[in-house]
């Protein structure tokens, strides 16, 4: 696979490295930007096979044509970029943004609230999903809710509020997502990519079994050994057993393209 080194001096910092953030990373990486990811110390991604934040634990992560490497200091970023690698820093507060001096900052944390991103961080500041107000705390917001407006650029106002109900796929909605039954440590009974049947144990928390609410393909499963709270999202089942789980999703690609569009649109204003 050909390694893509940045083709310009443009830098973008992406806060968060989960599956939706990874779609954003790929778009900007392919467009020639020097991309850096800022993450928390213990990410809890569910769709780990397509989440570059896994580099926090393994040192490296590969999703399609994007290689991510965990960096220890901001000074290591240039070496990563020369090698065509996307560096990841553990920096939940975004303290390194001042030294990186990016052309754009994208909040892809998907916390459904603003955890500190603001328009002074860069010339262009974009946020994904609810919790932000375009024109006030950021320059643009990207709609992340499935449906007609998915990927829409919002230049004034906010994205739709989170309903807590996953978008419907093949007639299934709330049953697609599994939550931790109790507080404790996760142990796996199945693996991402497995075809599972309703009622089968997918994982346990402190010995308490979590049975599959529907049949389908296990597309996401929180990392084994993770400490979870009761009710925390821990697994994701796709009722379509023939779907692809090793590549970036349609939703992630749509949002990533929208973020790239937002950058160039805002630079023209």
What is the residue-wise DSSP string for 65-80?
TEEEEEESSGGGHHHH
User: How many Cβ atoms are within 10 Å of 221's Cβ, its own excluded?
Assistant: 27
Short-list 260, 12, 249, 39, CA closest to 140 = 260
Distance CA 257, CA 259 (A): 5
Backbone angles phi, psi at 22, to 5 degrees: -65, -35
**Could you tell me the fold of the domain covering 174-238?**
OB fold (Dihydrolipoamide Acetyltransferase, E2P) (2.40.50)
Contacts of 239 (CB under 8 A, 6+ apart): 169, 170, 171, 172, 176, 214, 215, 216
- 36-72 per-position pLDDT tens digit: 999 999 999 999 999 999 999 999 999 999 999 999 9
Sign of the dihedral through C-alpha 93, 96, 101, 106: negative
Distance CA 253, CA 245 (A): 14
Rounded to a whole number of angstroms, the CA Rg of the chain reads 18
Q: Is the pTM of this model over 0.85?
A: yes
| 46 in Cβ contact with 220 (< 8 Å) | yes
Distance CA 202, CA 200 (A): 6
pLDDT tens sequence for the chain (269 residues): 556 666 568 999 999 999 999 999 999 999 999 999 999 999 999 999 999 999 999 999 999 999 999 999 999 999 999 999 999 999 999 999 999 999 999 999 999 999 999 999 999 999 999 999 999 999 999 999 989 999 999 999 999 998 777 777 767 777 899 999 999 999 999 999 999 999 999 999 999 999 999 999 999 999 999 999 999 999 999 999 888 999 999 999 999 999 999 999 999 88
The helix or strand, by DSSP H or E, that contains position 11, with its residue range, turns out to be strand 11-15
Short-list 217, 168, 223, 184, CA closest to 51 = 223
- 80-118 per-position pLDDT tens digit: 999 999 999 999 999 999 999 999 999 999 999 999 999
- Report residue 92 CA to chain centroid gap: 14
- In CATH terms, are 11-162+250-268 and 174-238 the same topology? no
Contacts of 148 (CB under 8 A, 6+ apart): none
Determine the 3-state secondary structure of 180 from DSSP: coil
**Could you tell me the fold of the domain covering 11-162+250-268?**
Rossmann fold (3.40.50)
| 113 in Cβ contact with 20 (< 8 Å) | no
| 142 in Cβ contact with 258 (< 8 Å) | yes
64: phi > 0 → left, psi -120 to 50 → alpha, else beta; which?
Answer: left
Q: Structural domain boundaries of the chain?
A: 11-162+250-268, 174-238
Distance CA 4, CA 264 (A): 21
């Amino acid at each position: 696979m050909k390694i893509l080194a940045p083709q310009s001096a443009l830098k973008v910092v992406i806060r968060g490295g989960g599956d939706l953030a990874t779609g954003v990373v790929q778009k900007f990486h392919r467009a020639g930007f020097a991309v850096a990811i800022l993450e928390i110390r213990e990410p809890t991604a569910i769709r780990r096979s397509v989440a570059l934040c896994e580099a926090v634990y393994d040192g490296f992560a590969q999703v399609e044509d994007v290689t991510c490497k965990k960096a220890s200091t901001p000074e290591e970023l240039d070496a990563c970029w020369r090698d065509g690698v996307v560096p990841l820093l553990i920096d939940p507060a975004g303290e390194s943004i001042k030294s990186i001096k990016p052309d754009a900052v994208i909040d892809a944390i998907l916390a459904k609230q603003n955890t500190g991103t603001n328009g002074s961080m860069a010339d262009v500041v974009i946020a994904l999903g609810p919790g932000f107000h375009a024109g006030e705390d950021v320059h643009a917001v990207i709609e992340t809710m499935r449906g007609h407006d998915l990927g829409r650029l919002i230049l004034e106002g906010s994205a739709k509020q989170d309903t807590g109900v996953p978008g419907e796929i093949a007639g299934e909605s709330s049953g697609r997502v599994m939550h931790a039954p109790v507080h404790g440590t996760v142990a796996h009974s199945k693996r991402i990519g497995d075809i599972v049947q309703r009622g089968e144990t997918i994982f346990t928390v402190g010995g308490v079994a979590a049975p599959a609410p529907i049949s389908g393909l296990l597309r996401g499963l929180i990392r084994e050994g993770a400490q979870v709270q009761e009710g925390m999202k821990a697994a994701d089942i796709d009722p379509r057993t023939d779907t692809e789980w090793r590549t970036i999703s349609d939703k992630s690609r749509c949002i990533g393209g929208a973020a790239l569009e937002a950058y160039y649109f805002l630079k023209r204003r």
